[in-house]
Amino acid sequence: MLPSLPTAQSLEGKAVPQVIFKTRADEQWCDVSSDDIFKGRTVVVFSLPGAYTPTCSSTHLPRYNELAPSFKASGVDRIVCLAVNDAFVMNEWKRDQEAEDITLLPDGNGEFTAGMGLLVDKSDIGFGRRSWRYSMLVRDGVIEKVFIEPASAGDPLEVSDADTMLKYVNPQAVAPEPVVIFAKPGCPHCARAKALLAAGGLRYEELSLGGQIRSSTLRAVSGRGTWPQVFIGGRLIGGADELEAWLAAPGAGREG
């Protein structure tokens, strides 16, 4: 049976539910209120069925994490990921995802989600009651815009994604291009290239020599055998010298 969901129009303009989130920080329990999260701030929230689940781990959370600098540059103070999971699970998932720019909130009892009218029954797959997938923009505790996934079978991700929300928050924003660096431990040129990327404000994924990444892998994808090799937006930039020249070009590495 498909869930009965509220409409976006029925939620927009209303205050967020007032609840206490049972979180943990520094190995201690810490009560966080709705006002602690939302009062006086512009907050983007995205809610999902559960930590470590496939779509949530591969797409929903990672993309918000990637676009966090763009949201910040567009006036968003905080990005919140919410799920009907406990604090231990959410904290471990945050570490696993390296999502330092995302606040992961455990709605363990589903109180906030129920207040949104988006607590749904997923007992058919052994989940019990969980959050339906949605995202919203909240200004000073009031919901300005909400994107609710359609009441269809499965686990749709069509409108609550990070790119859709960023386009609403700032239609002129340009999402940063993905950056990958093939690096070798102890390589001074690799260290220089990573420092250049960091200085340019570019987040990157590092693929290091070892395990399944070998010199033959580097040659296969780049056509070159020297370390490092940097790719930006699917384009081969090259080594540290070429990266420095690329970053010095007008407009390189800048977000809109």
The residues assigned a catalytic role are: 56
Alpha carbon distance 94, 79 (integer Å): 13
How far CA 89 is from CA of 23, 36, 47, 187, in Å, comes to 11, 21, 15, 36
Shortest CA distance to 175 belongs to which of 93, 13, 63? 63
Strand partners, 105: 82
Alpha carbon distance 201, 254 (integer Å): 8
Angle between helix axes 188-199 and 240-248 (nearest 10 degrees) is 20
DSSP 8-state assignment for residue 245: H
